[in-house]
Amino acid sequence: MSNGQSGAEQRLVTPGEALGSSSGLRNGSGVVERNGKFFSTKFGYMKNVNSTISVVPTHSSYMPQSGDFVIGYIVEVRSNLWFLHINGPFQGLLPMSLAPWKVEFGESRKHLDIGDAVFARVQEVDESHNVVLTMKGVGLRKIAEGAVEAFPSHLIEIFLGKQNANLQKMREHTNARIIATDNGQIWFDGDVQAMRNVRDLLMQFKGCLNGSELQSMIDNALN
Amino acid sequence: MGGYGDVQLLREDGKRLDGRALDEMRPVSIEVGVLPAAQGSAMVTHGLNVAVAAVYGPMEAHPRKIQRQDRAVIDVRYNMAPFSTSDRIRPGFNRRSQEISKVTAEALESVVLVELYPRSKIRVEIEILAAEAGTRCAGITAATAALADAGIPMRDLMIGVASGKIENIVVLDLDKAEDNYGQADLPAGILPNTGEIAFLQMDGDLSPDEFNLAMEYNFKAAREIHDIMVNALKQKQQRGEA
């Protein structure tokens, strides 16, 4: 995700605002076409990438997409599956077959119980927004140590930086292990001072209203 | 509405009791992002009305029986604070707040792109902190600004405005005396960019010509409030960039 700050296309638009003629262009996220014209449906920055006009909202809640890396919390346990809160409008479903362990029917609670947190990946989101999660993959596991802080999900991409540059700087600055997920959750672990450093920085960054403010705050804090 | 024909609501110079022209609305100001805990929020001051709206979600709709498989439901709760009027209002839901919650939800469902969020719920809380007249319109305007602030996709920004009739003359934006002693009230939810009407109610009687004039006033006021809302949204963003 980009905050749409770069390039000549930067323009802050509101829902219903006309964005210009649609000829020769495609409409992307946050844009609809009516009578040969594009209109914004979101409050955000207009972007033109490869002849596709889209609007990147200044603020939005997390919408799960296939392939997303997330931190989820178990909220319901059934005999053969778990339901997870993934900070989105819909709960994620983790079937027994996609857990990293061999789970006997009826023994799911032995592996993950209500309140446990896990690293998972979104396997599939169907038309009815059923979200299927998997824990089969590198780095996907139950979280047994460290702490998790919530962070605005639309700012996660800026938090990570290009090729994780910001995240790497933060790891070096705080001497902590840090993992940021697509659903706006940040896990970190280290000694007491490292944990405190990360928490202080996150509290500072959370107050940002947009990507450019966050980037300048990160630059000031970590350089 | 009506029945108080002997109450004088227009001055001898043709202006209204508060000095406004017939097609002049009360001062309006909008501030966006006033509640940090909400997904989106806004405060609208319209004359002496103060409305605060907060948006939460989209979230999974509970109980499941309210879920729609093909779209989101919008759950609106309009409430007037006990201290919002000179007489204390009994706290809690009443028939009036239920009716306004329902019509506001139906109006918003025609503006928000609800088909993007099947099975989910968008919760909109509207709290009237101070009431003069036209609280449902102020509430609709506040709810729209809060939805835009929350990043919820909409076809347009819906603006709540009202016109009415006093002493057989159509006027824009009734104040308390005009609302209590006037002959008609015509609140509307207008989409200024598309020119559509998402919600329309009428209390009292208007002739076709009076109705057309009242709607003309409503559209004029909606365009003005729309500009104020766009500025408020952009100002919030610029505050962050400064």
Residues B165-197: tens digit of each pLDDT: 999 999 999 999 999 999 999 999 999 999 999
- What is the spatial distance between Cα B215 and Cα B23, in angstroms, rounded to a whole number? 11
In a domain, A3, yes or no: no
Averaged pLDDT for residues B110-134: 94
- The domain boundary, picked from A134, A159, A186, lies at A134
Q: What is the largest CA-CA distance in chain A?
A: 60
Q: Is the CB of residue B194 less than 8 Å away from at least one CB of chain A?
A: yes
Instruction: Report the pLDDT value the prediction gives residue B108, as an integer from 0 to 100.
Output: 97
Which candidate from B39, B69, B113 shows the least CB-CB separation from A61?
B39
Q: Is the CB of residue A126 less than 8 Å away from at least one CB of chain B?
A: no
Q: pTM of the predicted model, to two decimals?
A: 0.85
Q: Which of B31, B41, B152 to mutate to test the interface with A (most CBs of A within 10 A)?
A: B152
In this structure, the dihedral spanned by the alpha carbons of residues B124, B145, B131 and B161, taken in order and rounded to 10 degrees, is -110
The reply to whether A159 and A179 lie within a common domain is: yes
- What is the spatial distance between Cα A32 and Cα A39, in angstroms, rounded to a whole number? 5
Angle between helices B208-241 and B135-149 (to 10 degrees): 40
- What is the spatial distance between Cα B140 and Cα B53, in angstroms, rounded to a whole number? 9
Structural tokens at position B167: 């002493």
CB-based contact A127 B149, cutoff 8 Å: no
Instruction: Report the pLDDT value the prediction gives residue B5, as an integer from 0 to 100.
Output: 55
Question: Structural domain of residue A201, as residue ranges?
Answer: 147-222
In a domain, A6, yes or no: no
In a domain, A4, yes or no: no
CA distances from B194 to A106, A126, A138 (A): 56, 32, 50
Domain count, chain A: 3
**Low-confidence spans in chain A with pLDDT less than 50:** 1-9
Instruction: Report the pLDDT value the prediction gives residue B4, as an integer from 0 to 100.
Output: 54
In a domain, A204, yes or no: yes
- What is the spatial distance between Cα A207 and Cα A64, in angstroms, rounded to a whole number? 24
Averaged pLDDT for residues B76-96: 93
Q: Which of B230, B231, B235 to mutate to test the interface with A (most CBs of A within 10 A)?
A: B230
CB-based contact A43 B194, cutoff 8 Å: no
Structural tokens at position A83: 């339901």
Cβ atoms of A213 and B241 closer than 8 Å: yes
Instruction: Report the pLDDT value the prediction gives residue A209, as an integer from 0 to 100.
Output: 63
Query: Residue B42 — very low, low, confident or very high, per pLDDT cuts 50/70/90?
Result: very high
- What is the spatial distance between Cα A108 and Cα A96, in angstroms, rounded to a whole number? 7
Strands A185-189 and A177-181, bridge-based pairing: antiparallel
Which candidate from B69, B153, B156 shows the least CB-CB separation from A30?
B153
In a domain, A1, yes or no: no
Q: Which residue has the tokens 């630059």?
A: A219
In a domain, A44, yes or no: yes
Residue B242: pLDDT over 50: no
- The domain boundary, picked from A134, A155, A174, lies at A134
- Domain with A31 in it: what CATH number? 2.40.50.100
Secondary structure of residue A79 in the 3-state scheme: coil
Cβ atoms of A96 and A106 closer than 8 Å: no
CB-based contact B237 A58, cutoff 8 Å: yes
Instruction: Report the pLDDT value the prediction gives residue A2, as an integer from 0 to 100.
Output: 41
CA B83 to chain centre: 20
Q: Is the CB of residue B55 less than 8 Å away from at least one CB of chain A?
A: no
The reply to whether A175 and A114 lie within a common domain is: no
Question: What ipTM does this complex have?
Answer: 0.88
Type of residue found at B137: C
Q: Is the CB of residue A42 less than 8 Å away from at least one CB of chain B?
A: yes
Q: Which residues of A touch B117 (CB under 8 A)?
A: 89, 129
The reply to whether A154 and A193 lie within a common domain is: yes
The reply to whether A151 and A88 lie within a common domain is: no
Instruction: Give which of A168, A201, A186, A197 is closest to A119, Cα–Cα.
Output: A186
- What is the spatial distance between Cα B154 and Cα B189, in angstroms, rounded to a whole number? 14
Q: A17-31, B44-58, B227-241: which has the highest mean pLDDT? A: B44-58
Torsions phi, psi of A23, nearest 5? -65, 130
The reply to whether A153 and A211 lie within a common domain is: yes
Q: Is the CB of residue B34 less than 8 Å away from at least one CB of chain A?
A: no
Q: Is the CB of residue B231 less than 8 Å away from at least one CB of chain A?
A: no
Q: Is the CB of residue A15 less than 8 Å away from at least one CB of chain B?
A: yes
Structural tokens at position B218: 């409503």
The reply to whether A161 and A209 lie within a common domain is: yes
Q: Is the CB of residue B223 less than 8 Å away from at least one CB of chain A?
A: no
The reply to whether A154 and A204 lie within a common domain is: yes
Round the average pLDDT of chain B to a whole number and report it: 92
The reply to whether A53 and A76 lie within a common domain is: no
- With CA atoms as reference, the chain A residue closest to B235 would be A12
A134-143, A184-193, B24-33, B54-63: least confident range: B54-63
- The domain boundary, picked from A134, A166, A191, lies at A134
Which candidate from B59, B117, B240 shows the least CB-CB separation from A213?
B240
Spell out the domains of chain B, with CATH numbers in brackets: 28-241 (3.30.230.70)
- With CA atoms as reference, the chain B residue closest to A154 would be B151
Query: Residue B114 — very low, low, confident or very high, per pLDDT cuts 50/70/90?
Result: very high
Q: Which of A5, A14, A208, A213 to mutate to test the interface with B (most CBs of B within 10 A)?
A: A14
In a domain, A96, yes or no: yes
Our CA-based measurement puts residue B67 at a distance from the nearest CA of chain A, in whole angstroms, of 11
Structure confidence by residue, pLDDT tens digits, A113-135? 999 999 999 999 987 778 999 99
Instruction: Report the pLDDT value the prediction gives residue B1, as an integer from 0 to 100.
Output: 53
Q: Which residues of B touch A41 (CB under 8 A)?
A: 113, 153-155
Instruction: Report the pLDDT value the prediction gives residue A207, as an integer from 0 to 100.
Output: 72
In a domain, A34, yes or no: yes
The reply to whether A172 and A208 lie within a common domain is: yes
- With CA atoms as reference, the chain A residue closest to B115 would be A128
- The pLDDT > 70 percentage for chain B reads 96
The reply to whether A124 and A75 lie within a common domain is: yes
- Domain with A161 in it: what CATH number? 3.30.1370.10
Q: Is the CB of residue B157 less than 8 Å away from at least one CB of chain A?
A: yes
The reply to whether A210 and A184 lie within a common domain is: yes
Instruction: Report the pLDDT value the prediction gives residue B223, as an integer from 0 to 100.
Output: 97
Averaged pLDDT for residues B199-203: 95
The reply to whether A154 and A188 lie within a common domain is: yes
Count of CB contacts below 8 A, A vs B?
Answer: 91
Instruction: Report the pLDDT value the prediction gives residue B112, as an integer from 0 to 100.
Output: 97
Which candidate from A16, A58, A129 shows the least CB-CB separation from B119?
A129
